């Protein structure tokens, strides 16, 4: 498809309320300026500290399996990360509705505080005390990240129209930069001289400081709106929108396989006898490539459109999930890590933009994002534990690769169906 301009999330709100007591509503978007870029950078920091930490769980999966939770199976440990990812997306139901009503700063400040508390509580968890880690890292940090995601991404659309796609992908790239920095820091602290407690505290201190800065930078342009579509009305519209249904199904099913390399690549490398140092940096290689993928996704979208780029990234990701069957050497880890990381980065960058394309009414975009992420949450919840169960205690790696590759193929097929519906819709509207 050609270029698809993302809908303006705040356009409806602009027509309902003045920007100030002395100004009349207008369709003007700054598309730049200090306040606009400060808000975008604040969103970037939020992504760095939340989803960037979530997708760094592979470090913890390896550390817990071999050192800190040796009394638990890989599948049981994976539930910590998968519940975190589940709540990250499920909490969008709440944050999406609150965003549509204008409560951006309240969400950002409250959820930032929750993220800081959760990570400092994680540092107090004792070895082989699964429930302590599960409550703080799985539930507490997952809820905080979920409440922060939608407002930090969507608020950017209140400032940018012409460059909205590029700016949104910039904000989303904070997650992949975080997924580069956090594994380096965690691997060198958890496995270093300072140990688990101080290593997690150092990480929590970095995240708390950056979120503190983000709370000052993020500022919405519009006051809370009293006029908003009810959740049930939005859900009813979604249920009668084939393109939205296929898009949400694609996100949900692909998410089942999406987290497999993020959670298991480092452990996979270590269990195949590769050096400990290289295994530590296998996630860094993949996440660095993801960062590049997110940064370049905006350029690709300019030429091919959001749906086509998203479909292409999931097709490549599916092929590479199957390719994990052949992971044996350093060269195979590097190759798969770079290629999968790049496709995964594009996929992550386009979650919000594709839902914007699928939302004809900008005033209910927050709710539509929340609904899609709630379904997607179930994919992230069940995927890693199923993979762990398939691996068993004997680590039979081909089983996980085949299962997650099949899930990726089904998800990619849903995105192809979504494109077909969108093309028919565009044709009928001409």
The residue that leads in pLDDT, 267 or 124, is 124
Give the mean pLDDT of 375-404. Answer: 85
For the cut 80, the answer to whether the pLDDT of residue 203 exceeds it is yes
Give the mean pLDDT of 409-426. Answer: 92
Under the banding of pLDDT at 50, 70 and 90, the label for residue 5 is: very low
Q: Is the pTM of this model over 0.85?
A: no
- In angstroms, the first-to-last Cα distance of the chain is 15
Under the banding of pLDDT at 50, 70 and 90, the label for residue 359 is: confident
Under the banding of pLDDT at 50, 70 and 90, the label for residue 409 is: very high
Radius of gyration of the chain (CA): 21
Look at residue 14 in the predicted model and tell me its pLDDT: 40
For the cut 80, the answer to whether the pLDDT of residue 227 exceeds it is no
Neighbours of 165 (CB within 10 A): 23
Neighbours of 303 (CB within 10 A): 10
Look at residue 26 in the predicted model and tell me its pLDDT: 39
CA 271 to chain centre: 27
Range of weakest confidence among 121-130, 251-260, 383-392: 383-392
Neighbours of 283 (CB within 10 A): 31
At 31, is the secondary structure helix, strand, or coil? coil
For the cut 90, the answer to whether the pLDDT of residue 100 exceeds it is no
Look at residue 1 in the predicted model and tell me its pLDDT: 40
CA 339 to chain centre: 18
d(CA 10, CA 345): 26
Look at residue 429 in the predicted model and tell me its pLDDT: 66
The residue that leads in pLDDT, 309 or 222, is 309
Give the mean pLDDT of 197-214. Answer: 94
Look at residue 208 in the predicted model and tell me its pLDDT: 95
Cβ neighbours for 47, distance < 8 A, ≥ 6 positions apart: 149, 152, 153, 171, 172, 173, 174, 175, 178
Mean pLDDT, the chain, rounded, equals: 83
Under the banding of pLDDT at 50, 70 and 90, the label for residue 326 is: confident
Check whether domain 31-429 has CATH 2.40.37.10, yes or no: no
Under the banding of pLDDT at 50, 70 and 90, the label for residue 224 is: low
Identify the helix (H) or strand (E) that includes residue 160. none
CA distances from 218 to 35, 39, 43, 88 (A): 8, 4, 7, 20
Range of weakest confidence among 44-48, 194-198, 359-363: 359-363
d(CA 258, CA 90): 17
Identify the helix (H) or strand (E) that includes residue 331. helix 330-349
Under the banding of pLDDT at 50, 70 and 90, the label for residue 204 is: very high
For the cut 90, the answer to whether the pLDDT of residue 220 exceeds it is no
Q: Which two tokens stand for residue 419?
A: 């494109």
d(CA 30, CA 278): 46
Among candidates 153, 151, 44, which has minimal Cα distance to 98? 151
CA distances from 23 to 20, 26, 134, 171 (A): 5, 9, 50, 30
Handedness of CA 243, 245, 251, 253 (dihedral sign): negative
Under the banding of pLDDT at 50, 70 and 90, the label for residue 301 is: confident
Look at residue 153 in the predicted model and tell me its pLDDT: 83
Give yes or no for a contact between 78 and 263, defined as CB atoms under 8 angstroms apart.
yes
The residue that leads in pLDDT, 48 or 267, is 48
The residue that leads in pLDDT, 191 or 378, is 378
Instruction: Name the burial class of residue 365, with classes exposed (0-12), middle (13-18) and buried (19+) by CB atoms within 10 angstroms of its CB.
Output: buried
Range of weakest confidence among 198-207, 363-372, 419-428: 363-372
């Amino acid at each position: 498809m050609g270029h698809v301009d993302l809908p303006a999330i705040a356009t409806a709100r602009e027509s309902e309320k003045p920007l100030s007591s002395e100004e009349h509503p207008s369709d003007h978007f700054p598309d730049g300026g200090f306040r606009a870029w400060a808000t975008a950078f604040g969103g970037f920091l939020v992504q760095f500290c939340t989803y960037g930490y979530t997708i760094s769980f592979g470090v913890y999966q390896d550390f817990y399996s071999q050192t800190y939770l040796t009394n638990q199976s890989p599948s049981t440990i994976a539930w910590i990360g998968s519940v975190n990812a589940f709540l990250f997306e499920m909490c969008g139901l709440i944050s999406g509705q609150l965003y549509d009503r204008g409560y951006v700063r309240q969400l950002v400040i409250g959820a930032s505080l929750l993220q800081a508390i959760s990570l400092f509580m994680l540092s107090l968890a004792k070895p082989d005390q699964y429930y302590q880690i599960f409550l703080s890292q799985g539930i507490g940090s997952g809820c905080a990240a979920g409440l922060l995601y939608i407002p930090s991404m969507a608020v950017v659309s209140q400032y940018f129209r012409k460059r909205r796609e590029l700016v949104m992908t910039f904000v989303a790239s904070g997650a992949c930069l975080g997924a580069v920095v956090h594994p380096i820091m965690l691997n060198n602290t958890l496995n270093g001289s300072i140990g688990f407690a101080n290593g997690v505290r150092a990480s929590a201190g970095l995240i708390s400081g950056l979120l503190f800065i983000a709370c000052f930078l993020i500022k919405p342009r519009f006051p809370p709106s009293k006029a908003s579509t009810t959740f049930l009305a939005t859900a009813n519209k979604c249920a009668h929108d084939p393109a939205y249904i296929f898009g949400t199904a694609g996100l949900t099913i692909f998410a089942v396989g999406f987290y497999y390399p993020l959670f298991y690549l480092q452990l996979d490398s270590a269990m195949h006898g590769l050096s400990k140092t290289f295994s530590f940096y296998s996630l860094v290689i993949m996440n660095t490539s993801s960062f590049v993928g997110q940064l370049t996704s905006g350029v690709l979208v300019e030429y091919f459109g959001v749906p086509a780029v998203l479909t292409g990234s999931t097709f490549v990701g599916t092929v590479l999930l199957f390719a994990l069957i052949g992971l044996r050497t350093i060269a195979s880890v590097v190759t798969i890590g770079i290629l999968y990381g790049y496709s995964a980065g594009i996929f992550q960058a386009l979650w919000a933009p594709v839902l914007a394309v699928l939302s004809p009414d900008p005033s209910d975009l927050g709710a539509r994002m929340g609904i899609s992420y709630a379904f997607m949450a179930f994919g992230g919840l069940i995927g890693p534990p199923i993979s762990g169960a398939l691996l068993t205690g004997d680590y039979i790696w081909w089983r996980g690769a085949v299962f997650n590759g099949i899930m990726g193929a089904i998800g990619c097929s849903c995105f192809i169906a979504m494109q077909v519906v969108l093309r028919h819709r565009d044709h009928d509207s001409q």
